[in-house]
Amino acid sequence: MLLNKPLTLKLTQLKVTNFRNYPYADIHFCPRINYFTGANGMGKTNLLDAIYFLCQGKSYFQSNDKQLLLHGQDFLRVEGWFEKDEKRFPVVVKLQTGKKKQILRNNQPVQRLSDFVGELPLVFIAPDDTLLIREGSEARRKFMDSTLSQLYRPYLDALLAYNNLLKQRNQLLKMGGDNRAPDHALLQIYAEQMEQPAKVLYQHRKAFLSAFLPVFQDIYQAISGGHERVQITYQSDLNQEEFLSGVHKQLRKDLILQRTCFGVHRDDFLLDMEDQPVKPYGSQGQVKSFLISLKLAQYHFIRQHKNIAPVLLLDDIFDKLDPRRVDQLLAFILENQFGQIFVTDTHEERMAQIARQLGEVHHAFRVNEGSLTQIQLV
């Protein structure tokens, strides 16, 4: 997994005003590892979310920006100073009730979010991400889509085009109720327009998985100590049948169910451990190891593609891992070129032990009801 000196994205300072349970905070970060410790509900995850919000222009958890405003407040502001390729620049994200969200990069307004997000790469590993394994196929498609969209612009374009056409085709199918047949010719036109983006998505997903799988498996082996065999299999309607003939064959079903029943929107990535699906059989620690490996493999590809080490946010990841896996994970983090890391844990003692084991330059903070104090971990 080693690369020749990738650049590193570093967040050196963060100022937040009225973000979730933080009225105000102004923090200087370490370029390597930053630890946050505190009891449940104190604001550890919120702080990582503020960093995500700054880099991606949206929350990792909340699609509704209004929920990010400190209760009773009508504006919020998150400001950060970044270092990248020896350049230092500020980014500010501002939100005010009734106004459009504003993002300033180096004091210049950002016009399009899609141009901005790729510039400040980061990978967030959060406890709820286990839904990626435990939930239905949508979560896994989203994971692959967000990874591939960051790596290949044509993939993102195909994804937007396909989803847009699918939405229109499904709307048309829904209009077919009440004994009115929807316009078959128009249904066919939508299918024909969907064919090309469907192929792009299918081919990228297939090719990417064959590159992703060995990296993922290596990471899983490193964390688990080689205890379990893990596998990811790409499942797609297009494995069996060409797009247009598949859609054509499903037309009757489409008309009854009023939605498109064939296509890459139904793709899934099957996650197996020892030839059994992880979802019903995996233990909590195994599921967590699986998830961490998926995310670290994602990190690997983003770093390789952009030649910059993304910021890594590790929220509560040591919980449910046995001491051996924690050690193996730490060894893995040390041996590979991760850039700046932000880690949270409720156990201050465990955090201190981790800091000692990693032996890296670090800052540590105690989080208490939306305020932070810098501490010495001992």
Ligand X SMILES: Nc1ncnc2c1ncn2[C@@H]1O[C@H](COP(=O)(O)OP(=O)(O)OP(=O)(O)O)[C@@H](O)[C@H]1O
Q: How many angstroms separate the most distant Cα atoms in the chain?
A: 73
Return the amino acid letter for 233. T
Name which position in 15, 44, 140, 169 contacts ligand X (CB under 6 A). 44
Q: Which stretch binds ligand X (CB under 6 A): 7-15, 61-69, 139-147, 327-335?
A: 61-69
Name which position in 9, 25, 70, 110 contacts ligand X (CB under 6 A). 70
Q: Is residue 23 close enough to count as binding ligand X by CB under 6 A?
A: no
40: partner contacted, choices ligand X, Mg ion, none (Cβ within 5-8 A by kind): ligand X
Q: Is residue 21 close enough to count as binding ligand X by CB under 6 A?
A: yes
Q: Is residue 265 close enough to count as binding ligand X by CB under 6 A?
A: no
Q: Which is nearer to ligand X, 310 or 370 (CB)?
A: 370
Q: Which is nearer to Mg ion, 45 or 260 (CB)?
A: 45
How near is the Cβ of 55 to ligand X at its closest, in Å?
17
Check if the beta carbon of residue 122 is closer than 8 Å to that of residue 52: yes
Q: How do 33-37 and 341-345 pair as beta strands?
A: parallel
* Alpha carbons 371 and 359: distance in angstroms, whole number: 26
Q: Is residue 78 close enough to count as binding ligand X by CB under 6 A?
A: no
139: partner contacted, choices ligand X, Mg ion, none (Cβ within 5-8 A by kind): none
How near is the Cβ of 74 to ligand X at its closest, in Å?
12
Check if the beta carbon of residue 341 is closer than 8 Å to that of residue 332: no
Q: Is residue 63 close enough to count as binding ligand X by CB under 6 A?
A: no
Check if the beta carbon of residue 315 is closer than 8 Å to that of residue 307: no
* Alpha carbons 352 and 364: distance in angstroms, whole number: 9
Q: Report which of 275, 273, 293 is spatially closest to residue 283, judged by C-alpha positions.
A: 273
Its sign, for the CA torsion 102, 108, 112, 118, is negative
Check if the beta carbon of residue 292 is closer than 8 Å to that of residue 223: yes
The full DSSP string for 116-182 is HHTTS-EEEE-GGGGHHHHS-HHHHHHHHHHHHHHH-HHHHHHHHHHHHHHHHHHHHHHTT-TTPPP
Q: Is residue 71 close enough to count as binding ligand X by CB under 6 A?
A: yes
Q: Which is nearer to Mg ion, 20 or 44 (CB)?
A: 44
Q: Which stretch binds ligand X (CB under 6 A): 65-73, 86-94, 276-284, 357-365?
A: 65-73
CA dihedral angle for residue 323, residue 327, residue 328, residue 330, rounded to 10 degrees: 130
Q: Which stretch binds ligand X (CB under 6 A): 34-42, 111-119, 240-248, 323-331?
A: 34-42
Helical axes 184-224 vs 153-174, angle rounded to 10°: 130
Site for ligand X in 330-349 (CB under 6 A): 346
Q: Is residue 45 close enough to count as binding ligand X by CB under 6 A?
A: yes
Q: Is residue 96 close enough to count as binding ligand X by CB under 6 A?
A: no
Check if the beta carbon of residue 238 is closer than 8 Å to that of residue 206: no
Name which position in 8, 34, 37, 46 contacts ligand X (CB under 6 A). 46
71: partner contacted, choices Mg ion, ligand X, none (Cβ within 5-8 A by kind): ligand X
Give the number of other CB atoms < 10 A from CB of residue 226: 10
Q: Is residue 43 close enough to count as binding ligand X by CB under 6 A?
A: yes
Count residues contacting ligand X (CB under 6 A)? 18
Check if the beta carbon of residue 204 is closer than 8 Å to that of residue 148: yes
Q: Which stretch binds ligand X (CB under 6 A): 63-71, 206-214, 267-275, 335-343?
A: 63-71
Site for ligand X in 302-331 (CB under 6 A): 316
Q: Is residue 37 close enough to count as binding ligand X by CB under 6 A?
A: no
How near is the Cβ of 150 to ligand X at its closest, in Å?
26
Q: Is residue 45 close enough to count as binding Mg ion by CB under 5 A?
A: yes
Residues in contact with 264: Cβ distance below 8 Å, sequence separation at least 6, in sequence order: 162, 198, 201, 202, 205, 236, 237, 238
Interface residues with ligand X (CB under 6 A) are 20-21, 38, 40-46, 67-71, 316, 346, 367
Interface residues with Mg ion (CB under 5 A) are 44-45
